[in-house]
Structure 1
Amino acid sequence: MIGLWWTVWGWFAVARWWLAVRGRLPWRLMAFLADAHEKRGVLRQVGAVYQFRHIELQRRLANRQR
């Protein structure tokens, strides 16, 4: 378990947990991305990466204040 902490995967897991606890990221991130891609058409998948289909939506979400 201690070895996992020092890997990139460990830091990713901690960051995902922290952001989900604070309400900044969905708990089920991959299900959320799949839904946005397959059912809603908001994202497109290029290889292993998801991209916004509309640049204006990306800009609006990036500039959103909480």
Structure 2
Amino acid sequence: MVPDQTVPATPPSSEPLAEAAPDRKYVENKPPRGLYVRVFIYVIATHVLLAMMSLVVIAANNR
């Protein structure tokens, strides 16, 4: 059986923590590198898809 703990293990201190960083607004200046890679893949995939659809249309017109 666990005894009821009425007193906290470490009393809260009234002074602020020394490790607390000052409040700074985070501003991202450049997008992550992965974004460029994904956009590149999407562009290439779209071009390949359009080229294959064009070949299908050309083949259908020649029949």
TM-score normalised according to structure 2 size: 0.28
* Greater helix share, structure number: 1
Higher relative contact order (CA 8 A, sep 6+): 1
* Greater strand share, structure number: 1
TM-score normalised according to structure 1 size: 0.27
